[in-house]
Amino acid sequence: MPEGRRFCYVSGLRLGVPALEELCAQGRPPDLVVSYPAELAHRCGYVDYESVTRRLDLPHLRATDINGDEVRDALASHRIDLMVVAGWSQLVRGEVLASLPLGGVGMHPSPLPVGRGSAPIPWTILRDMRASAVTLFHLAGEVDAGDIVDRIRFEVAADATATGLYERVGRLQAELIVRNLDALLEGRASRRPQTGHVSVWPRRRPSDGHLDLTAAGRDVDRMVRALAAPYPGAFAMFGGARITFRSGELSTEVVGGDPGQIVSAGPGRLWGVTCGDGVVFVPEAVSVDEGVVADPTSLAMFRPGRYFDAPSEHMLAATRRTPVPGNGDAEHRRPAAWVPRAVDL
């Protein structure tokens, strides 16, 4: 590593841990780590960097505002030349970057300029992409818009889950920053302006995971895969309880019922839910409300013949979903009518 040049590593997410660990394993530890405090533990993918930095013997600062005085003072006191960002929800402001002799770089899991913005891993699956990239770029005044340093492209499997993609991106980020760190610290890193079609992916909220069970099975399955851990999960309501589908798969062998209806999917109380095209989605793990993840067969409430609830009018307005069949009453009777439509992704 170039002598005298110092860098800080900024991340509040588990996504950033592999790169930090690899930098240390390569004898290139950062001179400061900035991470989220415990009050932001509700954010998807949050990890407590205190235990990580203690194990790696690294200086550590917890901060809610990357542009705040506390962070700026720490950058100055540690004589930081370069900031490396690997998972942070704020834009680093120009005055902070200007205070660093080498500015800053970020890593983003999309083939920039495609996929600027939020939730790139869920959106990659929801948009059914078959290829993507992790991009290392110079931080600028606009979100994810700076000149590109380097990127690693990769294929996305048709049955990819957010869990698997998240782990893969973490490993690729480690490879990307390790192979470019010397050039960045020496001030000779590549700068290629972003060219081609620009797309900005919007922020996703937990309510966006409300499943439309009148949609085709492939769309329901895609939503479940896209919102797997560490994301909040795709869900449907059942008897007033929020049922989150943590994982599952489509069945080509089980005969479906009406959309939203529970059907038997094999021995041992295995069950599935019928989608709008008659295909059955069989959950492998679910959680009820905010409870722990459970084996679906352990929950006696899911009996064949019952229906998932129709969304409330408030939920429909918030998510722009079509109601699923089921009138939400105690008996979960078949609704009088339903209209199958494609899920709104």
User: What's CA 54's distance to the chain center, in Å?
Assistant: 26
More confident position, 77 or 310: 77
Lowest-confidence pick of 57-66, 93-102, 164-173, 262-271: 262-271
pTM metric for this prediction: 0.88
Beta strand pairing status for 104-108 and 82-85? parallel
Q: What is the pLDDT, as a whole number, of residue 329? A: 29
Strands of 271-274's sheet in order across: 234-238, 241-251, 280-288, 271-274, 262-264
Q: What is the mean pLDDT of residues 71-93?
A: 97
Q: Work out the pLDDT band at 118, boundaries 50, 70, 90.
A: very high
Nearest-CA neighbor of 148 among 98, 102, 87, 190?
190
- Please give the DSSP secondary-structure letter assigned to residue 131: E
- pLDDT per position as a tens digit, 157-186: 999 999 999 999 999 999 999 999 999 999
Bridge partners, residue 282, by sequence:
249
For residue 116 the two structure tokens come to 């600027």
Neighbours of 73 (CB within 10 A): 11
All structural domains of the chain, each given as residue ranges with its CATH number in brackets, are 7-200 (3.40.50.170), 206-319 (3.10.25.10)
Q: What is the pLDDT, as a whole number, of residue 336? A: 34
SS3 call for 27:
coil
For residues 297 and 271, the answer to whether their CB atoms sit within 8 Å is: yes
Q: Work out the pLDDT band at 310, boundaries 50, 70, 90.
A: confident
Neighbours of 331 (CB within 10 A): 9
How many angstroms separate the CA atoms of 112 and 65, rounded? 25
How many angstroms separate the CA atoms of 150 and 192, rounded? 9
Q: In the predicted model, is pLDDT for residue 325 greater than 50?
A: no
Q: Work out the pLDDT band at 216, boundaries 50, 70, 90.
A: very high
For residue 296 the two structure tokens come to 């679906």
Nearest-CA neighbor of 136 among 175, 90, 100?
175
